């Protein structure tokens, strides 16, 4: 694995995102949830977007909204991105997420990309905190978030996946934790 870096895509590079969103193996983590997203397929987790929807998404996420950040994750040894990572202002706190393409999972990209996102959020953009709710069944994701400095807050939410209730834990990292290694 080479150096891991983040790069905000151009509109011409959105075909990678479309490819991942249509790949059931990459989107399997997303299957079964009650999501109010146009084009969402609950059975396999995929999301279909036509060209106009993808352009609108790009405009809202990349060109227009200052409280959002979206980037592809690159390995300097590979010519295409291995995934995507983002954050957005969700009422009062910045929620975040990460997606690694199926063929690149299990190679250490999540941890390194989470570390790079923290640099962008805290050093460059002055964000105060990043959070994500992760279902307990996604043990590898929870492990990688904790390895990258996130802590469980004690907050939980119940989510339905294929009509079965699951618990998702909130994981958080603050600017102070990032810079000083503690929560104040």
pLDDT in tens, 93-132: 999 999 999 999 999 999 999 999 999 999 998 899 999 9
Alpha carbons 173 and 118: distance in angstroms, whole number? 9
Residue 28 in this model has a pLDDT that exceeds 60: yes
Radius of gyration of the chain (CA): 16
Quote the percentage of the chain above a pLDDT of 90.
Answer: 64
Going by pLDDT thresholds of 50, 70 and 90, the confidence category of residue 64 is low
Query: What does the pLDDT average to over 142-146?
Result: 94
Q: Total structural domains in the chain?
A: 1
CB 86 within 8 A of CB 61: yes
Positive or negative torsion for Cα 175, 131, 29, 145: positive
Q: Which CATH number is 24's domain given?
A: 3.40.630.30
Alpha carbons 166 and 56: distance in angstroms, whole number? 33
- Maximal CA-CA distance, the chain: 45
pTM of the shown model: 0.91
- Residue 68, domain extent: 4-180
What backbone torsions phi and psi does residue 164 show, to the nearest 5 degrees?
-115, 135
Residue 11 in this model has a pLDDT that exceeds 50: yes
């Amino acid at each position: 694995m080479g150096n891991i870096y983040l790069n905000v895509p151009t509109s011409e590079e959105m075909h990678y995102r479309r490819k991942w969103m249509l790949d059931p193996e990459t989107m399997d983590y997303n299957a079964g949830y009650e999501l109010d997203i146009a084009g969402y397929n609950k059975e396999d987790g995929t999301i279909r977007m036509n060209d106009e929807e993808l352009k609108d998404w790009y405009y809202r996420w990349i060109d227009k909204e200052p409280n959002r950040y979206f980037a592809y994750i690159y390995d300097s040894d590979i010519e295409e991105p291995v995934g995507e990572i983002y954050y957005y202002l969700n009422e009062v706190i910045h929620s975040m997420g990460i997606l690694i393409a199926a063929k690149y999972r299990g190679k250490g990209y999540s941890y390194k990309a989470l570390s790079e996102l923290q640099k962008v959020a805290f050093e460059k953009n002055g964000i105060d905190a990043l959070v994500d709710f992760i279902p307990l069944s996604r043990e590898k994701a929870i492990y990688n978030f904790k390895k990258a400095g996130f802590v469980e807050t004690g907050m939980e939410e119940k989510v339905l996946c294929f009509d079965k209730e699951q618990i998702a834990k909130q994981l958080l990292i603050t600017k102070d934790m990032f810079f000083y290694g503690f929560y104040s």
